[in-house]
Amino acid sequence: QVQLVESGGGLVQPGGSLRLSCAASGSIFIIYAMGWYRQAPGKQRELVATFTREGSTSVADSVKGRFTISRDNAKNTVYLQMNSLKPDDTAVYYCNANIRRAVLSGRDDYWGQGTQVTVSS
């Protein structure tokens, strides 16, 4: 089993900041990619920012310059520092990881339970 546990969501005023954390645990051989997606009401889930195993990042244009993704490989944890938050950033934020659980197993996508981020005055 693999678990992704998220924390750090909440209510913040426009212009404020939040930091999300996601820790992966369980039967993990290799983490190929790990990052964040979000889904606003009535919209499709979209990529926010993600790391590949090699260390490259992908960041959505809508959050570039405001959000920063970082990681702690020793803890299998990724962070999302969100600054200058806008009402349009309101969504449920999901952690995602692409993981191989054992040497001879395939790669699978895992998702966290989601954490609500609400930006409102």
Mean pLDDT of the chain: 95
pLDDT at 18 over 90: yes
State pLDDT tens for residues 58-82.
999 999 999 999 999 899 999 999 9
What are the CA-CA distances from residue 34 to residues 79, 115, 118 (Å)?
10, 16, 23
pLDDT in tens, 27-61: 999 999 999 999 999 999 999 999 887 889 999 99
Q: Is 35 helix (H, G, I), strand (E, B) or coil?
A: strand
Residue 105 has pLDDT above 90, yes or no: no
- Look at residue 54 in the predicted model and tell me its pLDDT: 82
Paired strand residues for 20? 80
Length of the chain (residues): 121
Sorting pLDDT into bands at 50, 70 and 90, what band is 101? Answer: very high
Q: When comparing pLDDT for 20 and 73, which is higher?
A: 20
Q: Which residue bears the tokens 């395939």?
A: 106
